[in-house]
Structure 1
């Protein structure tokens, strides 16, 4: 199975590190899982204009096709102004309606306010559902206080446990889809 993580942050390291932690947890649970991180800071994904994918640059083409080739995905977003990142929303605007059919689509979000823990539920979850993604129950919101200030490493054991549980649930659900 191939698990792709997408970090939808264009600044800072917390979201990318959180997505990487999910990929690492999945790899520990099943060493046969292939993982890859798509950190949107490393790509020039073009603004979605509604044009066919072939009209976009190589980075846009490669990111979209890498995601489509995945068996399952974990999406990471920082919460900005009580919303998912514009970079992640723009990327999602490039996909066709059934893009994530038969794929588990986990969510990890980072933010400064505990008040934002429902943003993924009310903004990202409906979009992933529209694409026919199967969304696990155990998605993870991580308050910025859960990170070490100097290294950005997650230091909150509860958060680390929730990341482990998300990886476990995603693997379980994706195996069930592939084995039916």
Structure 2
């Protein structure tokens, strides 16, 4: 199974820390899965200009091809102005409308306060639904106080990340079985 982790901001460190922690949990539990980490802070991503995603090259081409070939995607996003960052929205704009069809997507949100708990529900999930994603119903929300010295110090958050990884792969493996059974009915 191909897994992509996308840190959706060009600034800050908490979202990346959360995704790195998640990547370690995935590699511990599923060592045979191919895991790709994409950090927008480290990539030179072009602005979407409406062309086909296959026409992008360089880091932009790497980003879109990794997302399009992944079976499971973990998206990490900080909360800026009660919404997702423009850099993450640009990623979605680079992709075709059905880019996430048959992909399982999990969300990890970071924010400075609990006031932005519903940004994933009101801002991110509608975009992913439009793009045909199958989103894991629960997501992990991490506040400023859950970090100290560049690590997650909240046992509750670490347990919720464990549960998110577990739920994600149960859902992904279940859907793959369903899709395989469905395709076998066609007899091609």
- TM class by shorter chain equals over 0.9
Which runs of structure 2 are paired with 1:19-58 in the superposition (5 Å)? 19-58=19-58
TM-score, length of structure 1 as denominator length: 0.94
Partner of 1:155: 153
State the shift of 1:55 in Å: 4.5
Backbone CA RMSD of aligned residues: 1.2
Cα distance in 1 between the residues matched to 2:56 and 2:2: 25
Superposed CA offset, 1:112-134 (max 9, x none): 01010100111111111111111
In the alignment, structure 1 segments of 5+ residues that lack a partner are none
- The answer to whether the Cα contact below 8 Å between 1:45 and 1:57 also exists between their aligned partners in 2 is no
- The answer to whether the Cα contact below 8 Å between 1:79 and 1:85 also exists between their aligned partners in 2 is yes
Partner of 1:108: 108
In the alignment, structure 2 segments of 5+ residues that lack a partner are 179-188
Partner of 2:167: 169
Partner of 2:143: 143
Partner of 1:14: 14
Partner of 2:83: 83
- The answer to whether the Cα contact below 8 Å between 2:106 and 2:168 also exists between their aligned partners in 1 is yes
Q: What SS is found at the alignment partner of 1:22? A: helix
Partner of 2:131: 131
Q: What SS is found at the alignment partner of 1:41? A: coil
Between structure 1 and structure 2, the one with the greater Rg is 2
Superposed CA offset, 1:96-123 (max 9, x none): 1211111110000111010101001111
Q: What SS is found at the alignment partner of 1:93? A: helix
- The answer to whether the Cα contact below 8 Å between 1:146 and 1:159 also exists between their aligned partners in 2 is yes
State the shift of 1:80 in Å: 0.5
State the shift of 1:54 in Å: 4.5
Q: What SS is found at the alignment partner of 1:141? A: strand
Which runs of structure 2 are paired with 1:64-83 in the superposition (5 Å)? 64-83=64-83
Partner of 2:181: none
Q: What SS is found at the alignment partner of 1:36? A: strand
Cα distance in 2 between the residues matched to 1:36 and 1:153: 21
State the shift of 1:177 in Å: 1.3
Cα distance in 2 between the residues matched to 1:125 and 1:97: 14
